[in-house]
Amino acid sequence: MGPGPFPVSTRFTSRNATGTGEGGGSAPRVWRVPLLPRLLSAFATVALAGVTVFLGSMAVLVLPHQWALATFVMAPMACFVAGLTGYVWRDLAGKWGLRLTLAADHATLDLPSGRSLIHRPPAEHVTIPYEDIEAIEMRLEAYRTLGTAMMQRAYVLRRRDGKTIFLFEDRALATPLNAPIFAQMAEDLAKRTDVPVRDIGMVEGRGGVLGVWGTHAEDWATPSLPLARQL
């Protein structure tokens, strides 16, 4: 496979319960993130928004009586949870709005900006003829934060004119939270287009605080880490 220490199979399969249509042939297939992860993201967003409102309200009510508690404890807690609410809202928008439609001779990409929580890709709503696609590229990305590490796999569509479109990312690799949906989408797109899935290795970005604030992803053209560093 590629230079990464965690090889990913590019063997294609038509067995998939999340897309409509048949693998291969000319029947259109529409891919979306399964409903359960979308509903879980929606629940987390509503729950955190409720906690933010509660903490903010309590800070305002307590302020006249215990200003130190309100200012240095409750208000910072409300701001912290508000930041988490924005994070999960972005995740919800990315999961709910993402759609990949594979027709006989073209792909329609509906990609919200929230499809990545570390990269900052613009929203894309574009139809691309298969003949304009050169390859699907993927790489592993490692992010360290507060003594822990996160691993994800990002996918990019490369057009024959050299332009790239960030597609989506597999998060929480090697954990029970990882789902194979995006790998399956990338494989099906490559199969329809008859182009390779290129493993371009692994990079290390900046994890920031808890992987939420201050994160930074390396440019897609960044060379892969040496194998010893990857391991």
Per-residue pLDDT 10s for the chain (231 aa) are: 444 444 343 333 333 445 555 444 457 899 999 999 999 999 999 999 999 999 999 999 999 899 899 899 999 999 999 999 999 999 999 999 999 999 999 999 999 999 999 999 999 999 999 999 999 999 999 999 888 888 999 999 999 999 999 999 998 888 877 878 999 999 999 999 999 999 999 999 999 888 888 899 999 999 999 999 888
Query: Distance between CA atoms of 168 and 184, rounded to whole angstroms?
Result: 12
Query: Distance between CA atoms of 110 and 101, rounded to whole angstroms?
Result: 8
Nearest CA to 151 out of 128, 130, 178, 182 is that of 178
pTM, rounded to two decimals = 0.83
- Cα angle 103, 163, 32 (rounded to 5 degrees) comes to 35
Q: Would you kindly state where each structural domain of the chain is located, as residue ranges?
A: 38-93, 131-230
